[in-house]
Structure formats: C-alpha cells, structure tokens
Amino acid sequence: MNAPHALSDYAHLVQPDRVHSAIYTDPAIFEQEMARIFHRTWLCVGHQAELPNPGDFRATTLGRQPVIMVRGEDGQVRVFMNRCRHRGMTVCETETGNARFFTCWYHGWVYRNTGPLQDVPGPAGYGADFHKEDFGLTLVPRQASYRGFVFASLAPTGPTLAEHLGPAAKYLDIYMDASPVGDIDVTAGVHRTRYRGNWKFVGMDGYHPHYTHRSVLDAWRRRSGGNMADTHHGDPFADDSGNLTRDLGNGHVLLDFFPGRMGNLDRYLATLRKLPQGEDYIQAMHSAHGEARGNELLAWAGDPHVGIYPNLQLIGVQIRLVRPLAVDDTEVLMFPGLLKGVPASVNSLRLRQHESFYGPAGAGSPDDAELFERNQEGLQASVDPWLYLGRGLNRERVEPDGTRVGLVGDETTQRGQLRGWLELMSEALA
Amino acid sequence: MTITREAVEAFLFHEADLLDDMDAEAWLALWAPECCYWVPCNGRDDSTDPQRQVSIIYDDRARLEDRIYRLMSSAAHSQRPRSRMRRVVGNIRYEVREGEVHTRSNFLLAELRRGRQEIWSGVSQHRLLPASDGFQIRAKTVLLTQSDEAIDNLTFLL
C-alpha cells in the first residue's frame, strides 16, 4: 500500500468535512467492512409481510454469509444460516418460495422450516452419541423485529436493536402508519437493480436531484399526475423549500420532506380524492389517528426517506435493501410496500409512482446508478484522493436529542453516515 | 388494409428498426391514443395483476409520453451515451381476433454501451389495430428473460 497513512487509520480517512477515496475503492477496506460492519451490526433482512404464509421464505446474504428468512409452520419468522449442518452446503437454492422442508441435495439431510433436523439417510450409520436435536439449522446469533422489519446480527453480543435504532425508530412508524391499520403487504414483488460502484454511494442526498434528476424534474413540470410530483410541491430540493436533512446518530439519516409536504397537503388530498374510493382512505386515516395526526401521516405519504444504517432505506413506497457484492459492485433490492386497509386504487397509485422513478427502467434509479459508476471511475484518479463533504457545515444545528439538522441539500446526511461508518469500523473485533 | 403475414412482419421489423435507432418520437407515433406498454417483473407473465404486482414498466399513454420526453432530454444520463443496439425479431405467430391482430414474437437484442455488451431476450406480444397505413399498437407486453435478475440499466426501448 502506498497510502501515507495506514489504511486501518480510519479516523484519518474520514475527517469532519472530507473523506479519502480509498474507502470506496480499496478491496482491503471492503473486506474490513464485511467483518466490522456487515458481519457484526444489525442488518435488515426484510419485512415479515414478505412471508404471509407458513413455509414462505426468501434466501439472501448478510454481508458474505448466506441466510434464509422463513416463516415456520408455527407462524414464527426466523433467520437461519443457509448451511447444512453435515457438510455445509446451502440447503435453500432458490431465492423465494414456499417449503415445509429444506433438503440438502448433497446427502439428503432434511430440515423442518422451523429449523430442527427431521431426517438423516441411513440413521444406523450414526452411533448412540449422535442426536438429531443437536443438528438443527443454525439460527443467526441475534434476531429482533420492529414493526415487522426483521433485523439480524451475526455478532452474539452488542447493542440491542432498540439502542441501534434510537430516534430513527419513529420513522419506521411513519412508513407503517400510512396504513390506517398500521400494516403493510410486501408481496408485490421486487425491483432488483445493480451498479458497478461502491455500496456507500447509495446515500441519502438532497443535493444531487437538480443535476442527476434534471430530466425527471423537467418532466414533472411538464405534467404532474401519476408520478412522484403528486406528493411534492414546487422544488422540494431548494435550499429555501423548508425541507431538511437529519443525522439521527449511528449512521441513520433522512431527508425530511415533511415541511414541504405539509404545505402541499391540500394538493395531495385532492390527488387522493380523484381516485376511486380515495376519500375512504382519507376518512380511515382520520378515524385511526385523529384528524391532525392523520393529516400529518397523509402528508408524509408513508415516505420517511430514511436510511437505517447500513443496509435499509425507506424511500417513496419502497423497502430498499442494499447488498454490497464487492468494493465496486452493489445490488439494490426495492420492495414496494402496499398498504393494508386501503382502497385498491391507493395501492395502484403507489405502484405506478414507484415504477415512474425506481427500478431498472425507471426515470430516476438508472441515472443514479450511471452516476455512481462514473463516481467509481473518477475515484481511480487518486493523485488528490479527497472528497469534500462540507456543504452546510457552516449552518448545521444540533437539537436537544443530539440530532444534527441541515437544509435539504446540505451534506449532513453524508457526514452522518460516515460518522456511523467510522464508529463501526473503529470498534475492535471480538 | 389487408392483414397478411407480410404486412405483420413488415410492421414488427419497422418497429425493431425504430427501437434500435432509438427513434423514440417515431416509435411513439406508432402507438394508439389509448395504449398499454408493459414489461412484467420477477419472471411473471401477462397473467399477473399489475395493480397488485410491481412491473418493470407499466405505461399508459401519458406515462409513455413522459418516458419518451425524458429519454430525449440531454440529462437522461443513463442514455448518455446511448445504447448501440441491434435486434433480431423472429418466430412470429399471429392471429386476428375481433379486428385486432395479436402477435407473439421472440427477440434477441445485443446492446452495447460504455464498453459492456449485454444480450437481452424475450417474447413480445403485440395487439395491433389495422390502420390506413399499417397498424397502430394498442398494447405491447414484453416478457423479458432477465426480468427476475438484477439489472443495472433498462432505459433503452424494448
């Protein structure tokens, strides 16, 4: 390594207003991120509403480690390591499906969807000291949920999920409480996207839309309706829009569009009222939450625009999971959540709004991905290796609960994520 | 006009040329005022309910116009530079139902952009309305082979 400082000197790489490009380009640092972040802290595995029926499962990875999230025949959602207890083969080879049993097709060990080992071929070959109950599928060391979001940690000890989420938890409520019954349906499928760039580029950036998404903003101005323009008024990314950035600690950050959206409430309600039975949704929200809170939740439109570090974001209608594959290769899964207890027309609108911007053919995500790839290319020019992230440092304020607040286009969010990154990377490995 | 295999093939080949050349305005002109351009997601086919399932694309006329408007913008970064494409359309079958021509064809598309070549394939299902000078597209559904895979950029036209 030719770096002037040791690459493990993370505090040198992440300074208050700048960051060294090595954290986006160096494969050795990526390996450390796997060990220190993805194989240790709380990761979101998904939402239990993806698995409405016993046996429903989704296989995924936590960092590099394959896991299965499955609803067992007893109704419980568990996260298992996707690894046979015999010789270590994956026991679930499809991404999603429904199964009563997971069978290892190497030697035929069979596991129940609640974990226990059900059958071993040729049991007579195992002695009296072999007990099937010692060989069930291995659970992740720690699992916890909040509002149906399933989190797992591969470390046996550490902060609780509640401690990890801190003040960010109430933004998961914003997402869930767009439903008058406080519940969602996550069976609408998934947009899987991928870009050749570092996972940390999936930030939370209110500064980029005027340029990265100029083509979309132009289209919004040309005609509003059936797209994301319905929930915004004017230019939501302008410094004088009233919208904010928040750094909630532990790397959790959000673009707080609530001020602008509350100002746009009448226009958004008019959009909802044009939908078949749209008025029923408004009334149901008022009944469930009272008129004042109901209106606030309607203004949010279930879009907290929050990033729960390191791999969950709730943006628009989607539950977004970020999967780093390599230092310069990232997969992003976008699950649109449908609301329970609302007219079908509201969920149709949510799907069309999502598709208009997100996914591989959306008007927004592919342009983000394109710029992330150009970013990865540009960072190879390491003669001056620093990225400047100082926008808004001169006007950032700190609220009593420790939340740092900036204007919507300030880099409060980037700084907050990197502060969370630095804390996790600097903790000693057990 | 008389509906013949030759006329159906000529229309599909003409459409393929417009798509390959990214002549989006001319392509948009092929569509009927009421139309549906659909690319299902997650390996699903046209039996899914797009009101309950997310699609890669589910455009009515207004959204299709927005798509083309954006694509023609100088700030559609994911098509700057544009994809260079050439596709082969084949295995064309068609039948006439209630005055509409229902076609089913395969496509194989080589797409080159910024040094990476991708091969895309799938089945296209067209519903065509006979018009004085050819056909209008009433609906087009593209069953993309890759629809359940991670995709980085599908902003060109299928």
Interface predicted TM-score (ipTM): 0.95
d(CA B39, CA B102): 17
Tokens of A423: 């804390």
Closest among B69, B56, B68 to A221, alpha carbons compared: B69
Cβ of B70 within 8 Å of Cβ of A215? The answer is yes
Cβ of A214 within 8 Å of Cβ of B73? The answer is yes
Q: What digits encode the pLDDT tens for the residues A124-160?
A: 999 999 999 999 999 999 999 999 999 999 999 999 9
- A:87-106 residues touching chain B, CB 8 A cutoff: 95
Q: What digits encode the pLDDT tens for the residues A80-105?
A: 999 999 999 999 999 999 999 999 99
Contacts of A4 (CB under 8 A, 6+ apart): none
CB A328 within 8 A of CB A376: yes
CB A313 within 8 A of CB A368: no
Residue A226 pLDDT > 50: no
Cβ of B153 within 8 Å of Cβ of A369? The answer is yes
CB A273 within 8 A of CB A267: no
Residue A2 pLDDT > 50: no
d(CA A312, CA A323): 10
Number of helices and strands (H, E) in chain A? 14, 24
Q: What is the pLDDT of residue A372?
A: 97
End-to-end CA distance of chain A: 26
User: Hey, is the C-beta of B62 within 8 angstroms of any chain A C-beta?
Assistant: yes
User: Hey, is the C-beta of A226 within 8 angstroms of any chain B C-beta?
Assistant: yes
CA distance A273 to chain B (A): 18
Candidate from A95, A212, A354 with C-beta closest to B54: A354
pTM: 0.96
User: Hey, is the C-beta of A275 within 8 angstroms of any chain B C-beta?
Assistant: no
CA distance B96 to chain A (A): 31
**Count of A-B CB contacts under 8 Å:** 112
Q: Residue B116's pLDDT band (boundaries 50, 70, 90)?
A: very high
Q: What is the pLDDT of residue A427?
A: 87
Q: What percent of chain A has pLDDT over 70?
A: 96
For residue A200, count other CB atoms closer than 10 A to its CB.
19
CA distance B69 to chain A (A): 7
Q: Is A149 helix (H, G, I), strand (E, B) or coil?
A: strand
Lowest mean pLDDT among A200-204, A228-232, A352-356, B79-83: A228-232
User: Hey, is the C-beta of B153 within 8 angstroms of any chain A C-beta?
Assistant: yes
CB A285 within 8 A of CB A180: yes
